[in-house]
Structure 1
Amino acid sequence: MRRFIFFSALFSVMTLCACQPDTQPKPKQAAENKTPVVVVVNYPLQFIVESLVGPEIQVLNPVPPDANPETWLPADAMIQTIQQADLIVTNGANFADWVKKLSLPRSKVLRTSLSLKDALISVPDFEVHSHGTGAAHSHAGTVAFFWLDPALMERQAEVIAQRLIQLVPQEKESITANLEKLKDSLKPLSQELDQLQAEYPGLHWFSERPVYQYLARRCGWTMHHLHWKQGTVPNESDWDKLKTMQREQKIPFLLWEHQPEEKRVEELAQHGVNSVVLDPLTMKPAQGDYVTEMQRQLVQLRQFLKQHQSETAESKE
């Protein structure tokens, strides 16, 4: 009888334990099932990472679609998300203000400019400003828009692929194959630039600020930046500088990052300067992707130059 009571009690305890939910955390299993998060600072880097990986990695570009990725700053909640990411892919050359201002774990940060040290372009008068009542002065700086030369974008992609393989080694074969596909997709852009270089070598261009140096070097062109502030109306001093440069060098074209006001286009035309837009695509385009939109813009640029054959001839003299 005692033996029967003992086994009955033991069976009851075992049944009760079996019915209890498993509330104990399983950190190892949770970590294995967690999707790695990769943060990027601009659209070109987003395009590279998304071209290399699939759903096994979450790609996060925290910059809102209507914000400037160069000056945008994250709120507290987003700061925590960025800091907790598995990898933070930055551009380098002081491209994004938030990268300089946030405390980021060094082991998680990949600065792609470090792989391009031999190809970086520095501008001695990158930024001109004044402090209070002091005289205007300039600071040197490195141009950050590497991806405007497909050869440099390839090098960015290669170093990103290496780091992604470290993050998800089981995806090495897939990432390696995707890297080759990405390189193939950039070939038409290189061909367009080669054609521009062959047909229109030695051109001189204005730009608002140092943006197009890598594209210009690829095409054998020279850029002259005006230090015009984005989104502001050029003042009398700005126009005086342009007129002076025009008298000295007769520069026929100005590359704009975004569509300027028609009034500005007309004013420039009066000074012998024709305007054309080439968006550097720091933000995702409304249609297509980096490759398709950049190719469309380069074709449009070649058509623009063809329409201004006389000015291109004068620029090369």
Structure 2
Amino acid sequence: MQRTILLIALFSVLTLCACQPDTESKPKKKSENETPVVVVVNYPLQFIVESLVGPEFEVLNPVPPDANPETWLPNDTMIQTIQKADLIVTNGANFADWVKKLSLPRSKVLRTSLSLKDALITVPDFEVHSHGTGGAHSHAGTVAFFWLDPALMERQAEAIAQRLIDIDPQQKESIAANLEKLKESLKSLSQKLDQLEAEYPGLHWFSERPVYQYLARRCGWTMHHLHWKQGTNLSKSDWDKLNTMQQEHKIPFLVWEHQPEKERVKDLTEHGVTSVVLDPLTVKPAQGDYVSEMQRQLAQLELFLKQRQTESSKSTN
């Protein structure tokens, strides 16, 4: 009898244990108080995300301020941080080297170029070239600087907003309202580009590499990239190529991403080409934000074109 009672008791204990939840075999859910982390690959995407969210999200741009976001690579510690993020917002078009080299969880990656498939510009004569000390680098044919056209930046923002809402549905109304505010702020850039297109139609420009094609298309302008390497002396064939393109398309300008060397500017002037700087803002500006800095730069570009127009008028009179 006692043996029977012991067996019944042991069976009851085993049954009770089997009914308990297996806390170790199931993945732990993120705590309600834990802040979701969103990683971005460049400043324009950082600007978009920060415009859409508040302190409910942590926005991480892992690229140091003095590094090139196209060629920068993270260390082991940063790789672990990136891989643990709730969302990794990439640019697409092979913009950032580390995105291609890291093993990233697909479910967490948002490639914003996928929302722009119908608007992407490909350049047939891409080639491997260098960005400063970053080493050889190629963009694989598709121009990656979508945000230079405000309409495309809006579409990037819409795609990002939807993924943020998926992560935290409780923030849906707030994110949607912030998206509308962001679109409103981009209208000033669109209006300025409309003005420049109307006042200076059909312009042809030189650039070192394919960067400004989306902005140029927005204004009805044409960019001709030279594939010049920074810090290297130009060969006779480089200058011959410039002269041939210049004569064929009547190109009087070269737009630079950053302030060029004085000697290079002087050489271009002797070839009848004037230089102007328009930073694509892949890194955060020292002052202001994306919209305010683009407003400043477009106003500067407008002044440059007016001065050139005045000089051209004087020379023909």
TM bin (shorter chain): 0.7 to 0.9
If the length of structure 1 is used for normalisation, what is the TM-score? 0.85
Match of 1:174 in 2: 174
SS at match of 1:39: strand
Q: Deviations over 1:22-80 (max 9, x none)?
A: xx99x968622211000000000000000000001000000000000000000000000
Q: Residue 158 in 1 paired to residue 173 in 2?
A: no
With over 3 angstroms needed to count, the CA separation of the structure-2 counterparts of 1:217 and 1:311, relative to structure 1, is farther
Any conservation in 2 of the 1:70–1:97 contact (CA below 8 Å)?
yes
Instruction: After superposing the two structures, state which structure 1 stretch, 249-258 or 30-39, moved more.
Output: 30-39
SS at match of 1:224: strand
What's the offset of the Cα at 1:232? Answer: 3.5
Any conservation in 1 of the 2:205–2:222 contact (CA below 8 Å)?
yes
Residues in 2 aligned to 1:199 and 1:127: alpha-carbon distance in whole angstroms? 34
Match of 2:46 in 1: 46
Match of 1:69 in 2: 69
What's the offset of the Cα at 1:145? Answer: 0.2
Q: Residue 302 in 1 paired to residue 302 in 2?
A: yes
What's the offset of the Cα at 1:230? Answer: 3.3
Flag structure 1 segments of 5+ consecutive residues without an equivalent: 1-23, 130-137
What's the offset of the Cα at 1:249? Answer: 2.5
Any conservation in 1 of the 2:93–2:139 contact (CA below 8 Å)?
no
Any conservation in 1 of the 2:206–2:254 contact (CA below 8 Å)?
yes
Any conservation in 2 of the 1:37–1:87 contact (CA below 8 Å)?
yes
Any conservation in 2 of the 1:51–1:179 contact (CA below 8 Å)?
yes
SS at match of 2:124: strand
> How large is the Cα RMSD of the aligned pairs?
2.0
Residues in 1 aligned to 2:217 and 2:30: alpha-carbon distance in whole angstroms? 49
What's the offset of the Cα at 1:192? Answer: 0.5
Any conservation in 2 of the 1:252–1:312 contact (CA below 8 Å)?
no
What's the offset of the Cα at 1:231? Answer: 4.2
Match of 2:241 in 1: 241
Flag structure 2 segments of 5+ consecutive residues without an equivalent: 1-22, 130-137
What's the offset of the Cα at 1:312? Answer: 7.4
With over 3 angstroms needed to count, the CA separation of the structure-2 counterparts of 1:168 and 1:30, relative to structure 1, is closer
Any conservation in 2 of the 1:200–1:312 contact (CA below 8 Å)?
no
Residues in 2 aligned to 1:282 and 1:128: alpha-carbon distance in whole angstroms? 20
**Equivalent residues, number:** 281
SS at match of 1:63: coil
Residues in 2 aligned to 1:310 and 1:291: alpha-carbon distance in whole angstroms? 29
What's the offset of the Cα at 1:235? Answer: 3.4
SS at match of 1:88: strand
Any conservation in 1 of the 2:147–2:153 contact (CA below 8 Å)?
yes
SS at match of 2:206: strand
Match of 1:95 in 2: 95
